Amino acid sequence: MAETAILQVDGQSYELPVITGTEGERAIDISSLRSTTGMITLDDGYGNTGSCESAITFIDGEKGILRYRGVPIEDLATRSSFIEAAELLIFGELPDPEERDEFRQLLTENSALHRDMRKHFDGFPADAHPMAILSAMINALQAYDLPEIHITDSGGFRRAAAALLAKTRTIAAASYKSHIGQPIAYPRYDLPYAENFLHMMFSVPYRDYVPSPEVAHALNMFLVLHADHEQNCSTSTVRMVASGGANLFASVSAGVNALWGPKHGGANMAVVEMLQRIQSDGIPVSRYIDQAKDRSSGVRLMGFGHRIYRNFDPRAQILKTAAHDLLESMQIKDPLLDIAQQVEEAALADDYFRERRLYPNVDFYSGIILRAIGIPTDMFTVMFSIGRTPGWIAHWKEVHDNEAQRIHRPRQIYVGEPLTQWLPPAER
């Protein structure tokens, strides 16, 4: 017999179905609640609300588990290329060699920007934030890459997905080159994804940049670890926009904007800025921790805490080791890594953080890796966007393909003025 939950309200009893996911998570299905009781649920920040059923990514925040399409993140981070992980997320399974070659070819064919898109770069002021450029340019891509706006067949979707993955990387590198006043470097057709990005970032007409295998590996791992994270703020935004029928590029562009904030993807930049401030102002770590514990200070320990992970963030653990390995291979000594470790140790030993179950998240060590690679701090959230693009595409597709999909339209509890009379200006 199907499991149900009983809700008692106004002296009446209502039976609500209980839904169980493939990993045993349970939810009370309240989709008939308003029509039967006249009431809605209130869940500020959606901490208890499942907004959809999804088959893409599984997280168990208590146990620190993250899997893309069932495959553990630890395996993907160490053994998969970013594009393989992207194909897994977007198309639902690991590609066989033929599928991999075909998709790589599509990426290669679609990596260059239309010549007229250059004019868009010229229109931005030199100090424009790269996230503003990225979201605007992804939106503009629609005009060049998705002429029919609506994707009608699987071939069209594969091409649009490849174009978005390849061009997000090209736009990111081109915005950096425009910002520093260097000529834009064209994508190369012989390089894998991460290496090609580094080439477009750091090659100049008189000198090709060739990354060490360790640098390419670290960037690839960074991208794999950021590729999806189920219904986070930016992905929910993509799904929200997609539910209204918006095209792939418009929906992903909205996701970039949602990622920008310091409580979300902007945290990777905020972490490095925090560590630099501790270093340059000579603030003792213990004093900084005290400030972060004091709500009135307005200071938070950036890179700490997560809505879902209440034990540890598996991505942070992988990135911590990767940061050490990379710095060692490059023979770099970054004082910020030492400060980060001191901050982590002090926070983990502190009751405030322990009681609230606040642990380092994905952003805590990722900035150290990006710095070592030579990525400027204001590009960090752009790097997160490149990594998250496969997830956004996969979630857009899940919404797009769901014939029963309703437009996302939450309700609210109104707490404003009751009926109020309009008064002419002289009487106000």
- On the 0-12 / 13-18 / 19+ scale of CB atoms within 10 A, 254 is buried
Please, which residue, 15 or 345, has the CB nearer to ligand ACO?
345
Size of the site for ligand ACO (CB under 6 A): 20
Residue 270, helix vs strand vs coil: helix
Catalytic-labelled residue, pool 229, 306, 395, 400: 306
The one segment of 136-144, 151-159, 197-205, 262-270 that binds ligand ACO by CB under 6 A: 262-270
Reported as half-sphere exposure (CB side, CA atoms, 13 A), residue 14 has a value of 19
DSSP codes of every residue in 216-241: HHHHHHHHHHTS--SS-HHHHHHHHH
Please, which residue, 83 or 362, has the CB nearer to ligand ACO?
362
Please, which residue, 90 or 267, has the CB nearer to ligand ACO?
267
Which phi-psi region, left, alpha or beta, contains residue 181 (left: φ > 0; alpha: ψ -120 to 50)?
A: left
Q: 130, 255, 305, 391: which one contacts ligand ACO (CB under 6 A)? A: 305
Element containing residue 313 per DSSP (H, E): none
Q: Is 75 a catalytic residue?
A: no
Q: Is 120 a catalytic residue?
A: no
Question: According to the binding rule CB under 6 A, does residue 344 interact with ligand ACO?
Answer: no
Query: Nearest distance from residue 289's CB to ligand ACO, in Å?
Result: 9
Tokens of 218: 């670290």
Cβ proximity of 164 and 252 under 8 Å:
yes
Q: 103, 157, 304, 380: which one contacts ligand ACO (CB under 6 A)? A: 304
The one segment of 122-130, 206-214, 248-256, 258-266 that binds ligand ACO by CB under 6 A: 258-266
Q: What CA–CA distance (Å, rounded) separates 140 from 117? A: 8
Angstrom distances, CA of residue 6 to CA of 3, 12, 20, 31, 35: 10, 10, 16, 14, 16
Q: 356, 374, 401, 402: which one contacts ligand ACO (CB under 6 A)? A: 356
Q: What CA–CA distance (Å, rounded) separates 371 from 367? A: 6
Tokens of 81: 């290329």
Query: Nearest distance from residue 306's CB to ligand ACO, in Å?
Result: 5
Question: According to the binding rule CB under 6 A, does residue 387 interact with ligand ACO?
Answer: no
Query: Nearest distance from residue 379's CB to ligand ACO, in Å?
Result: 16
Cβ proximity of 421 and 258 under 8 Å:
no
Please, which residue, 151 or 370, has the CB nearer to ligand ACO?
370
Q: 163, 238, 322, 358: which one contacts ligand ACO (CB under 6 A)? A: 358
Q: What CA–CA distance (Å, rounded) separates 389 from 66? A: 17
Please, which residue, 172 or 267, has the CB nearer to ligand ACO?
267
Tokens of 54: 């999804």
Please, which residue, 45 or 213, has the CB nearer to ligand ACO?
45
Cβ proximity of 370 and 332 under 8 Å:
no
Single-letter residue type at 122: D
Query: Nearest distance from residue 303's CB to ligand ACO, in Å?
Result: 5
Which residue minimizes CB distance to ligand ACO?
305
Catalytic-labelled residue, pool 179, 363, 395, 400: 363
Site residues for ligand ACO per CB under 6 A:
45, 263-265, 267, 292, 295, 300-307, 356, 358, 361-363
List, by residue number, the catalytic residues.
306, 363
